[in-house]
């Protein structure tokens, strides 16, 4: 039915918005992690010992930011998928696709 198809279509649009917002947030998290890491390495100046420590800390910061960004995207995908699945179940009950 048209009502069932609209239900699924609306859910797919919401799912796409959830994914897009999550990607935007993930990109911000990565960018901020990179900015903080770059700031750390810049503060080390030309001192080789400080540079070694700063590089290790910066690498860890970047990895943490990337992991957090990946988790944001993964959770959004799961939310979006379950939203669409629920809409499809509802549509099936009212006689849709």
Q: What is the pLDDT of residues 49-81, one digit of tens each?
A: 999 999 999 999 999 999 999 999 999 999 999
Q: What does the pLDDT read at residue 97?
A: 54
The pLDDT of residue 96 is above 80: no
What whole-number percentage of the chain has pLDDT above 90? 95
Q: State how far the Cα of 9 lies from the Cα of 27, in Å rounded to an integer.
A: 27
* Contact status, residue 2 vs residue 75, Cβ threshold 8 Å: no
pTM over the 0.85 mark:
yes
């Amino acid at each position: 039915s048209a009502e069932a198809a609209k239900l699924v279509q609306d859910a797919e649009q919401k799912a796409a918005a959830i994914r897009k917002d999550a990607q935007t947030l993930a990109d911000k998290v990565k960018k901020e992690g990179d900015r903080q890491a770059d700031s750390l390495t810049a503060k080390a100046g030309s001192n080789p010992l400080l540079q070694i420590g700063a590089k290790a800390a910066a690498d860890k910061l970047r990895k943490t930011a990337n992991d957090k960004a990946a988790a944001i995207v993964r959770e959004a995908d799961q939310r979006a998928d379950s939203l669409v699945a629920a809409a499809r179940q509802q549509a099936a009950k009212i006689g849709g696709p």
